[in-house]
Amino acid sequence: MKTVPLGQTGEQVSQFALGCMLMGTLADDESSYAMLDRYLDAGGTFLDTANCYAWWPGPPFRGGESESLLGRWLHRTGRRDEVFLATKGSAWIRDVDAVRDNPHDPAAASRQYEGAGAQTLRQALDDSLRRLGTDHVDLYYVHVDDRNTPLEETLEALAGLVAAGKTRYVGWSNIRTWRLERIRQLADRYGWPAPVALQQQHSYLRPRPGADTRSIVDDEQLDYLRANDDLTLVAYSPILKGSYDDLTKRRDHHVMASYRGADADARFAVVAEIAAEFGVTGNQLVLAWLLHQRDPEFVTLIGPRTPEQYASALPALDIALTDEHLARLAAAGEGTDG
């Protein structure tokens, strides 16, 4: 499995990262262990989780299940030294019941985020390490940007976690480019560790004009990443919940709200054409397209729920897109109104 540099740290991480979000909830122990074992046996190293994973499948889950599952698997296998382990803090839900009592309120969860205050992050990482059964993680993200806490407080706390050996590197997720630049300026000014990873939603579809791109890579953010190779993109939701092969999801799933329009339609069409030429699925074709990107080069994060879903992603590793295929994909949607 191919690797890519993690910023300028000297680390090489798997170009395919394995997202463990649903492990311990919708993915039971047996299925989760099977995916983890198969991923490592294929040469994969990069495992991604978060302390809040995953409360949303419903009772009895309240967060921490994914980390606890990984802790059981690491204890069972003894493979901690074989993985680059990432987790996140700041989006733990303080009152899950309050969110579940308001299922039609899209902001209900965000009002309950724990935030990125200094003591909150210190306690959150300690709790994550306990669940994971390890004394450190390799990468610790601020999961959602917290504008209610001074960035200086958050960055100084993260620097303390690095100095204490509880995480080797820090990252950020779900953040606008101007905030990321502010973070990097402060880190440089005070000598604090700067983010080496940026985890954002990124796929072949482009966000429509006017979409909220706080959590989605847009043209400005791509340009920023090209100019700053000390920061590596980790692209989540690369197949947009399987929308490239599922017309119902393409029409109804909330993930599509940021993309629908003529540009998306044109891009869906060319994906279908080229996928048919290769005899693969649209999802597989898009994963292959992501793996072929070099400007910038980045990590693609897959989050399978079953061993079958995991297996269905693997053919993307063997799809060799030519310059002509890449040009067709790049040109799709040009001249539309979005």
Q: How would residue 135 be classed by pLDDT, with cut points 50, 70 and 90?
A: very high
What are the tokens at 323? 């310059």
Burial class (CB in 10 A: 0-12, 13-18, 19+), 148: exposed
What are the tokens at 62? 């309240």
Q: How would residue 16 be classed by pLDDT, with cut points 50, 70 and 90?
A: very high
What are the tokens at 21? 């979000």
d(CA 36, CA 129): 19
Q: What is the per-residue pLDDT for 202?
A: 98
Q: Is the dihedral of CA 173, 179, 182, 186 positive or negative?
A: negative
Q: How would residue 338 be classed by pLDDT, with cut points 50, 70 and 90?
A: low
What are the tokens at 165? 């050996």
Map out the domains of the chain as residue ranges. Answer: 3-195
User: Terminus-to-terminus CA distance in the chain, angstroms?
Assistant: 35
d(CA 166, CA 157): 12
Q: Residue 289 is inside which H or E element, if any?
A: helix 282-291
**What share of the chain in percent tops pLDDT 90?**
97
CB 62 within 8 A of CB 147: no
Tens-digit pLDDT profile for residues 140-162: 999 999 999 999 999 999 999 99
Q: What is the per-residue pLDDT for 337?
A: 63
d(CA 254, CA 245): 16
Q: Residue 87 is inside which H or E element, if any?
A: strand 84-89
Q: What is the dihedral of CA 195, 137, 13, 33, to 10 degrees?
A: -140
Q: What is the per-residue pLDDT for 213?
A: 94
Tens-digit pLDDT profile for residues 231-287: 999 999 999 999 999 999 999 999 999 999 999 999 999 999 999 999 999 999 999
**What share of the chain in percent tops pLDDT 70?**
99
Tens-digit pLDDT profile for residues 181-220: 999 999 999 999 999 999 999 999 999 999 999 999 999 9
Residue type for position 81: D
Q: What is the per-residue pLDDT for 238?
A: 98
Backbone phi and psi for residue 312, each to the nearest 5 degrees, phi listed first: -70, -20
pTM above 0.75, yes or no: yes
Fold assignment, 3-195: TIM Barrel (3.20.20)
Q: How would residue 336 be classed by pLDDT, with cut points 50, 70 and 90?
A: confident
Mean pLDDT of the chain: 96
Cα angle 140, 74, 302 (rounded to 5 degrees) comes to 60
**Three-class DSSP category at 98:** helix
Backbone phi and psi for residue 220, each to the nearest 5 degrees, phi listed first: -65, -40
